[in-house]
Amino acid sequence: MDETASVPVKGNGPALAPETMKRAYKDMLLVRRFEEKAGQLYGMGLIGGFCHLYIGQEAVVVGLGLHMKQGDKSITSYRDHGQMLVAGMTPRGVMAELTGREGGYSRGKGGSMHMFSREKEFYGGHGIVGAQVALGTGLAFANKYRGTDEVAIVYFGEGASSQGQVFESFNLAALHKLPCVYVIENNRYGMGTSIERASASKDLSRNGAAWNIPGRKVDGMDVLAVHQAAQEAIAHCRAGKGPYLLEMETYRYRGHSMSDPAKYRARDEVEEMRRTRDPIETLKAEMAKWGIDPAEMKSIDDDVKAVIADAVDYAKTCPEPDPSELWTDILVEG
Amino acid sequence: MASLILMPALSPTMTEGTIARWTRNPGDAVQSGDVIAEIETDKATMEVEATEDGIFGKIIVDAGTENVAVNTPIAVLLEDGEDSSAADALLTGSSASSANVSSHNEPKADAPVAAAPAAKAIEAEKEWGPTRDITVREALRDAMAAELRRDEDVFLLGEEVAQYQGAYKVSQGLLDEFGEKRVIDTPITEHGFAGMAVGAALTGLKPIVEFMTMNFALQAVDHIINSAAKTLYMSGGQMGCPIVFRGPNGAAARVGAQHSQCFASWYAHVPGLKVVAPWSSADAKGLLRAAIRDPNPVVVLENEILYGQKFPCPEDEDFIVPIGKAKIEREGKDVTLVAFSIMVGVALEAAAKLAEEGIEAEVINLRTIRPLDTETIINSVKKTNRVVSVEEGWPVAGIGSEICTVAVEQAFDWLDAPPARVCGLDIPLPYAANLEKLALPKPDWVVDAVRKLFRD
Ligand SMILES: Cc1ncc(C[n+]2csc(CCOP(=O)(O)OP(=O)(O)O)c2C)c(N)n1
Ligand SMILES: [Mg+2]
């Protein structure tokens, strides 16, 4: 088989163990509810500036997260809330950063687009489109330099996939056989520009072909398909075989950020996706098929709701950073 | 309890909008997240979501109303079991407009504007004992070798640094001693390898990134500034970036405008970076070692013409030069010349000529551009009452501009003449031998600038 050929993974890959399905369901729901709340808090003026929601794309990060282990690193763009929650960062800390409070992951100095966790090996949160791809390649470089079998998961949009540094990174990663899973989240639009108008590449999963980076196009609306592809990609990287490219065909339901005129796509297109491809509904159906009790799902719903409500309370009541914070963290002392 | 639904702000700059239509009718049950209305602004049409579960109780602002200010109550949400009288009660209640209004935390107007904390005192350089004459090139190589030996996390990468031994032979012998894991040839891909190195540094490794010349770092400047310098701050102190970006900076010899530019003021502008510019071999060795050990991103601006020049350098194995401390290369009482990198030599030559005229110039070698050692500069100016900055770079918003400002701000009453600048001409550097010579500062320019200060 031509390793670089794109093999669309059908949505009916091997089902996950029920416990894993429940975990995936819970994580996707956590991201969904978190983002809905973030949108609402934005409307209430509690969150300012740019705020990019992940709603619709949940299956991507959750499916990959199923195969990450302690020490694996991840990095993404400004559309980062989902990545952080799945990395194990607390909804409280993320939401409080969104509201610019001292209890936020960056103590209010980063905001929606810039959060990090050394502990959870989450490396941001980057506002420059494509920058995280070179940085993420460096995370993989560090794994290899230290001689571990840890991998780096590097998320970027299909818009970012046109950046020169993405191709520079592919070359570096292939040259050095770096354990780097590049995940293109192809949600079809970069702000208002559709992929057709932005890229002459008709199959982004082959964008690494010149460097023999194996690539796969994946139904990113189906967490089972993502799981299957992630398993293969991550195993490839852990085995020291070099980088791997996954193109996730996904969709964002909301605007690019909170100020999106939405003139570039028909409302029907969004509605159609929501109705027929929603990742959470799709998994729910699968879970029902495997006999998971709806009451259990309901109790997951309730748990998630409570976690989010708690995060919102915290983010609303947590104090703003002290003015002295202006001058800290500019340089490491010593 | 009944609560008010407020006109939301749906973009960073939205202050008001038009209620285009209501999509729910009074009496409808709504869940958090349901779309209840559409609003229009000059930029976009957007959906308004319910933020709580309940019964859509009453519309306060009708569809079609324009210029509705953000945070105006526009509808009432009832709890299960309440009827519309609860809405009326809420609206007529004295605290109606403030009830359940989550107020946006405006920064307190009287919050003190925190001042920059005073810079920490940096220890004076100690006496290092016997010296040996070595070239700046050797000094840089020795510094890297010493730090590579000392710390496994340090590695060098860049174009031609390994097999070729460095485009300017600065990394001579390093591949042999440290192997290809730690001395890494990169493809010609500045943006990519700088970003990769910064990513590795965020995990705690300590890369030395060699740019063949600093001119090419322009392709990587986004990672130097946005990724390396700002991440510590944006992460609330979690993600330090111990990295060195080094390479020859400024004019070389007859290589034209694209290969001849001083970037000192570019990098000096950026909080989160340190910037050093060695002149002598001792500067080069000591500053580069300090840069590699520093837990922050440090830009090391070298100079190709100096690479082959010999200077005495301490032989002590622990020799290091603290970042942030300038060095007085020559003492004098009549005028202060402030220079860095190759211009230190120019300033010293000028000082020798001035001495023949009876003017004793004090020459300060900045060594570090950021953080600037203003203390040394100001103490000198208070003694000499005159100051001239000497740099190879362009005049506009240059390092000289900063030095003059510092002198005026902090030593105005001591100045007997306006501070003056000697800079490279404000032009792209020409190729022709005669034109190039005319464009770059030389000792006579400094002498002239000093003479002017004494003429008036
Ligand atoms: C270098 C750079 N150019 C432009 C922008 C402005 N910008 C922010 S997001 C974006 C679109 C990116 O689209 P994509 O990569 O598909 O990611 P998505 O937003 O769809 O997740 C643009 C142009 C930026 N932040 N950085
Ligand atoms: Mg996109």
| Chain-chain contact of B198 with A138 (C-beta, under 8 angstroms) | yes
Mean pLDDT by 10 residues, chain A (334 residues): 42 71 97 96 94 97 97 98 98 98 98 98 97 98 98 98 98 98 98 96 97 98 97 98 98 88 87 96 93 94 97 98 96 89
Cα distances (angstroms) measured from residue A137 to each of A59, A144, A175, B188: 23, 11, 12, 16
Amino acid at A73: K
Residue A286: the pLDDT is 92
- The full DSSP string for A203-261 is -GGGTTGGGT--EEEEETT-HHHHHHHHHHHHHHHHTT---EEEEEE----S-SSSS--
**For position A3, what pLDDT does the model report?**
43
Chain A residue closest in CA terms to B231? A114
Q: A60 C-alpha to center of ligand 2: Å?
A: 13
Residue A326 DSSP one-character state: G
Encode A135-149: b = buried (16+ Cβ within 10 Å), e = exposed: bbbbbbbbbbbeeee
A162 Cβ closer than 6 Å to some ligand 1 atom: no
Largest Cα–Cα separation, chain A: 60
Is residue B79 classed exposed, middle or buried when 0-12, 13-18 and 19+ CB atoms within 10 A define those classes? middle
- Rounded distance from Cα A262 to ligand 2 centre (Å): 14
Tally of CB atoms within 10 A around B447: 22
Residue B447 gets the label, from left (phi > 0), alpha (psi -120 to 50) or beta, of alpha
- Show residues of chain A in contact with B222, CB under 8 Å: 128, 131
Smallest Cβ distance to A138: which of B104, B195, B231?
Answer: B195
- Asked if pLDDT for residue B411 goes beyond 70, the answer is yes
SS3 content of chain A, % helix, strand, coil (to 5): 45, 10, 40
Name the closest residue on chain A to residue B107, using Cα atoms.
A320
Binning chain B into helix, strand and coil, the percentages to the nearest 5 are 35, 20, 45
Q: What is the ipTM of this complex?
A: 0.95
- Ligand 1 atom nearest the C-alpha of A157 is 15
Which tokens belong to B415?
């100045």
Cβ of A255 closer than 6 Å to ligand 1, yes or no, is no
Lowest mean pLDDT among A8-17, A148-157, B54-63, B395-404: A8-17
Widest CA span of chain B, in angstroms?
A: 99
- Would the CB atoms of B51 and A125 count as touching at under 8 Å? no
Helices (H), A11-68: 18-43, 58-65
Beta strands in B255-307 (DSSP E): 274-276, 298-302
pLDDT for residue B99 = 37
Smallest CA–CA distance from B204 into chain A, residue:
A142
Q: Whose CA is nearest to atom 8 of ligand 1?
A: A129
Please name the residue whose Cα sits nearest to atom 7 of ligand 1: A129
**C-alpha span between A190 and B68 (Å, rounded):** 31
| Cα distances (Å, whole numbers) of residue A210 to A3, A167, A213 | 12, 10, 8
Q: Which domains does chain A have, with CATH numbers?
A: 3-254+262-319 (3.40.50.970)
The residue whose two tokens read 């290369």 is B329
Ligand with the closest atom to the CA of B227:
1
What pLDDT does B195 receive?
98
Q: How far apart are CA B389 and CA B341, in angstroms?
A: 12
Q: How far is the centre of ligand 2, averaged over its atoms, from the C-alpha of A203 (Å)? A: 15
Q: Residue A91 and residue A76: Cα distance in Å, rounded? A: 18
B32 — phi, psi (to 5°)? -50, 130
Marked catalytic residue, from B147, B159, B190, B210: B190
Minimal Cα distance from A313: which residue of B? B102
Whole-angstrom Cα distance, residue B63 to residue B76?
15
pLDDT the model gives residue A308: 98
From the CB of A127, is ligand 1 less than 6 Å away? yes
Per the annotation, the verdict on B104 as an active-site residue is no
Which atom of ligand 1 is nearest to A131's Cα?
1
As a whole number of angstroms, the distance between CA B175 and CA A279 comes to: 51
B181: chain A residues, CB-CB within 8 Å: 145
**B50/B290: higher pLDDT:** B290
Tell me the ligand closest to A160's alpha carbon. 1
Q: Residue A326: CB within 6 Å of ligand 1?
A: no
Helix (H) or strand (E) holding A114: none
The two beta strands, B73-78 and B54-59, are: antiparallel
pLDDT at B105 over 60: no
**Structure tokens given for A183:** 């995940």
Of A46, A168, A332, the CB nearest to B295: A332
Q: Which residue has the higher pLDDT, A247 or B112?
A: A247
Q: What is the residue type of A31? A: V
Q: Find the A185 Cα to ligand 2 centroid distance in Å.
A: 7
First to last CA, chain A: 55
Which of A55, A129, A259 has the most ligand 1 atoms within 8 A of CB, as the residue to mutate? A129
Average pLDDT over residues B110-127: 73
Instruction: Name the DSSP letter for residue B31.
Output: -
Which is it for strands A193-194 and A189-190: parallel, antiparallel or unpaired?
antiparallel
CB contact under 8 A, A137 and B120: no
Kindly tell me if the per-residue pLDDT of B101 is higher than 80: no
Tell me the pLDDT tens digit for each residue of B143-158: 999 999 999 999 999 9
Contact criterion met (CB below 8 Å) for B278 and B341:
yes
Write the pLDDT tens digit of every residue in B237-252. Answer: 999 999 999 999 999 9
CA distance B23 to A196: 33
Which one of A39, A115, A135 has the shortest CB-CB distance to B202? A135
- According to the model, what pLDDT value does residue B52 have? 81
pLDDT of residue B10: 81
Q: How far is the CA of A142 from the centre of ligand 1 (A)?
A: 26
Candidate from A79, A185, A191, A195 with most ligand 1 atoms within 8 A of CB, to mutate = A191
Q: What is the per-residue DSSP string for B191-249?
A: HHHHHHHHHHHHTT-EEEEEPSSGGGGGGGHHIIIIIIITHHHHTTT------EEEEE-
Q: Is the CB of A56 under 6 A from ligand 1?
A: no
All structural domains of chain B:
3-93 (2.40.50.100), 131-314 (3.40.50.970), 327-455 (3.40.50.920)
Ligand 1 binding pocket includes A128 (Cβ within 6 Å)? yes
- Which residue of B23, B46, B238 is the best one to mutate when testing the A interface, meaning the one whose CB has the most A CBs within 10 A? B238
Mean pLDDT, residues B15-30 taken together: 91
Out of A49, A73, A326, name the one closest to residue B12 (CB).
Answer: A49
Q: Within its chain, how far is the Cα of A317 from the centroid?
A: 28
Give the per-residue pLDDT at B84: 77
| Atom of ligand 1 lying closest to residue A156 CA | 15
Percent residues over pLDDT 90 in chain B = 78
pLDDT at B98: 41
**Residue positions counted in chain A:** 334
Instruction: Give the ligand whose atoms come closest to the C-alpha of residue A52.
Output: 1
Count other C-beta atoms under 10 Å from residue A276's C-beta. Answer: 10
Which string of DSSP letters, residue by residue, matches A247-284?
EEE----S-SSSS----SS-HHHHHHHHHHH-HHHHHH
Which amino acid, residue A271?
E
Minimum-distance CB partner of A134 among B45, B71, B191 = B191
Evaluate: CB of A160 within 6 angstroms of ligand 1: yes
pLDDT at B34: 83
Distance A300 CA to ligand 1 centre (A): 34
Q: B210 - beta bridge partners?
A: B158, B246
Q: Is the pLDDT of residue B95 over 70?
A: no
- Catalytic annotation, pick one of B82, B259, B329, B402: B259
B102 → chain A, closest CA residue: A44
The answer to whether B191 is a known catalytic residue is no
Q: Provide the pLDDT for residue B117.
A: 80
Q: Which residue in this structure is represented by tokens 């796969």?
A: A216
Task: Evaluate: CB of A98 within 6 angstroms of ligand 1.
Answer: no
A304 touches A28 (CB < 8 A): no
